[in-house]
Amino acid sequence: MALHQEIQFELDICNHLASHGWLYAEPGQDGDARGYDTARALYPEDLLQWVQTTQPQAWDTLVKNHGAGAEAMLLDRLRKTLDERGTLEVLRVGMDMLGLKTPFKLAQFKPALAMNPDLQARYAANRLRVVRQCRTNHDDIIDLVLFLNGIPVATAELKTDFTQDINAAVDQYRFDRIPKPKGKPFAEPLLDFPRGALVHFAVSNRTVMMTTRLQGPSTRFLPFNLGDHGGAGNPANPNGHRTAYLWEQVWQRDSWLEILGRYLVTQRDSKKNVSGFIFPRYHQLDATRKLVAAVLQEGAGHKYLIQHSAGSGKTNSIAWTAHFLADLHDADNHKLFDSVLVVSDRNVLDAQLQEAIFDFERTKGVVATIKGEGGSKSAELAEALGGGKKIVVCTIQTFRSPSKPCKSWPPRRANALP
Rounded distance between C-alpha atoms, residue 374 and residue 304, angstroms: 34
Rounded distance between C-alpha atoms, residue 360 and residue 320, angstroms: 7
Is the Cβ–Cβ distance between 414 and 384 less than 8 Å?
no
Rounded distance between C-alpha atoms, residue 196 and residue 241, angstroms: 29
Type of residue at 391:
I
Report the pLDDT value the prediction gives residue 410, as an integer from 0 to 100.
53
Is the Cβ–Cβ distance between 285 and 263 less than 8 Å?
yes
110: region left, alpha or beta (phi > 0 left; psi from -120 to 50 alpha):
beta
Going by C-alpha positions, the residue among 305, 170, 313, 166 that lies closest to residue 234 is 166
Q: What is the pLDDT along the chain (418 residues), one digit of tens a residue?
A: 355 688 999 999 999 999 999 999 999 999 999 999 999 999 999 999 999 999 999 999 999 999 999 999 999 999 999 999 999 999 999 999 988 989 999 999 998 777 788 999 999 999 999 999 999 999 999 999 999 999 999 999 999 977 788 999 999 999 999 999 999 999 999 999 999 999 999 999 999 999 999 999 999 999 999 999 888 999 999 999 999 999 999 999 999 999 999 999 998 888 889 999 999 999 999 999 999 999 999 988 889 998 887 778 888 999 999 999 999 988 888 889 988 888 887 665 557 777 787 777 666 667 877 776 666 777 777 777 777 788 888 877 776 655 455 555 555 555 556 5
Is the Cβ–Cβ distance between 204 and 243 less than 8 Å?
yes
Rounded distance between C-alpha atoms, residue 333 and residue 114, angstroms: 7
Report the pLDDT value the prediction gives residue 1, as an integer from 0 to 100.
38
Going by C-alpha positions, the residue among 117, 114, 121 that lies closest to residue 55 is 121
Going by C-alpha positions, the residue among 1, 19, 21, 4 that lies closest to residue 257 is 21
Cβ neighbours of 300 (radius 10 Å): 12
Q: 3-state SS of 195-232? A: CCCCEEEEEECCCEEEECCCECECCCCEECCCCECCEC
Rounded distance between C-alpha atoms, residue 416 and residue 247, angstroms: 34
Residues 6+ apart with CB under 8 A from 326: 337, 339, 340, 366, 390, 391
CATH numbers and ranges of domains, the chain: 1-262 (no CATH), 282-417 (3.40.50.300)
Is the Cβ–Cβ distance between 260 and 109 less than 8 Å?
yes
Which tens digits make up the pLDDT trace of 256-287? 999 999 999 998 888 889 999 999 999 999 99
Residues 6+ apart with CB under 8 A from 324: 262, 288, 292
Q: What is the DSSP string of 326-351?
A: HT-B-TTS-BS-SEEEEEESSHHHHH
Residues in the chain: 418
Q: Is 371 helix (H, G, I), strand (E, B) or coil?
A: coil
Is the Cβ–Cβ distance between 317 and 302 less than 8 Å?
no
Q: What is the DSSP string of 68-115?
A: GGHHHHHHHHHHHHHHHH-HHHHHHH-B--TT-SSPBP---PPPSSS-
